[in-house]
Structure 1
Amino acid sequence: MTVSAADDQQARQLRKRWNRAGIVGVVSTVAVAFFVLWITGALSNAGPSGSFDETTDSYVRAIGVFLLGLPGAVTFVAWVRYDRQLRGLNRPPLELRIAEAAKSLSAAARLVDELESEMQVRAAALERIAAESSEQQRLAGVRADEAEAVTKLVESVISSTHARMDRANRRSQLLYFALGVATSVPIGVMINLWTK
């Protein structure tokens, strides 16, 4: 499956945005860590005893853990959004894939209809040749020598026509087979890729 130039450009823009978000996430995590260390250090030196009681200390630590985890959570959410958008660029939507499969099937149906009409034309030509053959046989009844020559001529024409029809039938059957393979293999591959 090829990716269009617009999708490729959009993917590059998404990667740049993700790189910026990752840098911002790392910088903000470091900044929050320094801020938490500074606050806990400044507050621990405040007060007559130089430290907090246990309750205040646990609150400060809980706030510190929350503030340290917040940039990481924001970065993770940004990464999930980036991944979903990038996957959406590399794969056409389901409606488009179904429409392409429907187009392929309708093209195959049109080809089958065209081949069927061609076979009807050839069958009509064969009937016309058979009618001409019977007419030739009737005219050949006038003379036995001429009748034998006409019969041989008609038989050779009919046998060559049958041979041509057999070759055409074989070609059309091979064409049906090739069309079946050409449409079913891509559809099967698309379905396998879609279901993974």
Structure 2
Amino acid sequence: MSEADLSYRVSWQGPLLQPLQVWLRAGNLQAIRRIQKASDSSDPLTARVDEVQGHLQEIAALLPVLEAELQMRNATLERVRADAVRYERLAALDRDKAETVEKLVDETVKRGVREAVKTLGEGFDEATRMISFGIDQSSKAGRKQQIQYFLLGLAGSVPLGVAGNFLFEWLTK
């Protein structure tokens, strides 16, 4: 509804209803502000969830890098296999050289596989470390908060209990 429609409605309804409408609009604004304030309050659980989501987003950013590395390793493995086929053809020409070529091919393939496994392991180890660090930090903060709530409850309930007992004794005399 536009401002012109609101002013038209106010003008034809008379001067007695205008303060009521202004009061209702102010009440609506206050309700909206209360809702915004409630949604902006810092809930520790929400903060921890946001922190974990941030870590998961960082991990999601690392996954394409790991996939690219894996594709590069697969391409290298395919080249090594193609070389192996070529070397096997050469080995058929000379049996004495065949054993040497076979050892070379096996060593090359093993080295490629070791490097691929090492690279992928390092990437996943870092991602796992980041997740566990975020969870450890949020659980430590939660534990500290629970201890603080317990101590505040204890500090508040004992004096209130003693004061209540004295008040009861004084009233029953």
Normalising by structure 2, we get a TM-score of 0.56
* 1:57 alignment partner AA: E
Kept in 1: contact 2:73–2:116 (CA 8 A): yes
**Distance in 2, Cα, partners of 1:59 & 1:103:** 66
Q: Specify every segment of 5 or more residues in structure 2 that has no aligned partner in the other structure, as ranges.
A: 1-44
* 2:155 alignment partner AA: R
Q: Who is 1:81 aligned against?
A: 126
| Residues 104-140 of structure 1: CA deviation (Å, up to 9, x unaligned) | 22112112223223224414523xx62xxxxxxxxxx
Kept in 1: contact 2:66–2:120 (CA 8 A): yes
Q: Who is 1:116 aligned against?
A: 161
| Residues 45-98 of structure 1: CA deviation (Å, up to 9, x unaligned) | 558935633144123212212213421332133223213322433454554243
Larger Rg belongs to: 1
1:28 aligns with 2:28: no
Q: Specify every segment of 5 or more residues in structure 1 that has no aligned partner in the other structure, as ranges.
A: 131-196
Alignment of 1:171-190 (within 5 A): none
Deviation at 1:36, TM superposition (A): 0.9
Q: Who is 2:112 aligned against?
A: 67
**Distance in 1, Cα, partners of 2:111 & 2:124:** 20
**Distance in 2, Cα, partners of 1:40 & 1:50:** 15
**Distance in 2, Cα, partners of 1:102 & 1:111:** 14
Residues 47 and 120 (structure 1 numbering): CA distance in 2 closer, same or farther, change over 3 Å? Answer: closer
* 2:64 alignment partner AA: N
**Distance in 1, Cα, partners of 2:141 & 2:115:** 39
Counterpart of 2:93 in 1: which secondary structure? coil
* 2:75 alignment partner AA: A
Kept in 2: contact 1:18–1:82 (CA 8 A): no
Q: Percent identity?
A: 7
* 1:40 alignment partner AA: A
Q: Who is 1:15 aligned against?
A: 60
* 1:79 alignment partner AA: F
Deviation at 1:40, TM superposition (A): 2.9
Residues 58 and 123 (structure 1 numbering): CA distance in 2 closer, same or farther, change over 3 Å? Answer: same
* 2:161 alignment partner AA: E
Normalising by structure 1, we get a TM-score of 0.51
**Distance in 2, Cα, partners of 1:102 & 1:120:** 27
**Distance in 1, Cα, partners of 2:133 & 2:98:** 53
Q: Who is 1:161 aligned against?
A: none
Counterpart of 1:22 in 2: which secondary structure? helix
Q: How many residues align?
A: 127
* 1:14 alignment partner AA: I
Q: Who is 2:145 aligned against?
A: 100
Alignment of 1:48-63 (within 5 A): 49=93, 52-63=97-108
